[in-house]
Structure 1
């Protein structure tokens, strides 16, 4: 039976991106290949805050939570080689699955999952804002943390223009700081001048006091 490293499984309200406000079950996987200075889930890659359990047991825990939307996050989920098996089993049981990734990695087996119920949110990170070329065609949503590093050319460029659509880009002010809200508003105006739209969405779960 396939096992997987789980940091936590919980039910909450989605606080980020286009699922914002919806009730969602979260699966947080262990490990991350980046070390962002403002990361608020560093416990997900400390190498000790996890339990190794079977994928079938994970699904049983999700079933207990009673929701049909599941967000798989981290850390960085694409560091987990068992991710495709977990996703397939969830979708086969009627779940809508959202994977949150920093965009630097890809798992080839995910290409076999041809389902309208699989969503991938890519949140490129500084300083390079690199997106793995093989991931690009599968991105459902681009989400950028608006911090001191982010520039318009990190959002609108040759790679992203191949997938970008109106209302496709989310700007998330870092830690909901007022100065980053102001910067997000300026970036939104710059994006408009290029002919595209974006949404400014704060980390709503923090405003609501939820996990």
Structure 2
């Protein structure tokens, strides 16, 4: 039976083309799908408009596919807010994969969708950016994480990175240290954390928010 692509709807704040400004995909051209809603309220969040409940349109799968096709790219980043706050996120990801898109998901790591266990893991790149003060990560998400991105702020310390629940999932070059708002003092702290990680035999990358340096969304 042919799927009804208009049956499922999603709260979409915006869809736009830019370059990936954070993490290991930095610099690559990407179509961003920003979904509405988040379960956290981080003090330094740079997209608070994504969770006020006032700035979204209800779009179907067909609507979303029609919009992203305009950009002639096969790389899509689903962001927010918090993507996993959208209960039918797996339906969107499944349809993107079926249409030959590589899917990148940026998540705070606290939520999970069990239906992801039925999706093609090789087509999904998940960046987990755990948030203070507890840096909690849902244990069911961990096997699917491709990259751990830690915002280096006043709270972050080595104990939030090297810990019992993460140690088997942290591999060489899977950790990104992102200085908060590109502040010089946080760049210095990131360098110190990078040295501490080397003591555990783990190489990490320090990557600022490059889209802000470039003046891009």
Match of 2:3 in 1: none
Alignment match, 2:169: 163
Q: C-alpha displacement at 1:114, in angstroms?
A: 2.3
84, 87, 111: which one aligns with 2:93: 87
Aligned-residue offset at 1:9: 0.2
1:68-99: CA deviation from partner (whole Å, max 9, x where unpaired) = 11000000000101210110111111110011
Structure 2, unpaired ranges of 5+: 1-6
**1:20 correspondence with 2:26:** yes
1:78 corresponds to 2:84: yes
1:50-199 alignment runs, 5 A limit: 50-199=56-205
**Matched residues, number:** 211
> Per-residue CA shift, 1:128-154, capped at 9, x if unaligned?
000001111111110000000000010
Cα distance between partner residues in 2 of 1:44 and 1:79: 12
RMSD between superposed Cα atoms in Å? 0.7
Aligned counterpart in structure 1 of residue 9 of structure 2, from 3, 6, 10: 3
In structure 1, how many angstroms separate the alpha carbons of the residues matched to 2:41 and 2:173?
Answer: 29
Match of 1:38 among 26, 36, 44: 44
Contact 2:121–2:144 (CA under 8 A) maintained in structure 1:
no
Task: Report the alpha carbon displacement of residue 65 of structure 1 after superposing the two structures with TM.
Answer: 1.2
Distance 2:27 2:183 in 1: 20
1:192, CA displacement in angstroms? 0.5
Aligned-partner SS, 2:196: helix
Runs of at least 5 residues in structure 1 that lack an aligned partner in the other structure? none
What secondary structure does 1:65 align onto? coil
Q: Distance in 2 between matches of 1:208 and 1:165?
A: 30
- Tell me the TM-score normalised to structure 2 length: 0.96
Could you tell me how far apart the structure 2 residues matched to 1:180 and 1:207 are? 16
Separation (CA, whole Å) in 1 of partners of 2:53 and 2:145:
28
Structure 1: distance between partners of 2:205 and 2:185:
17
The equivalent of 2:4 in structure 1 is none
The 1-side partners of 2:204 and 2:162 are apart by: 11
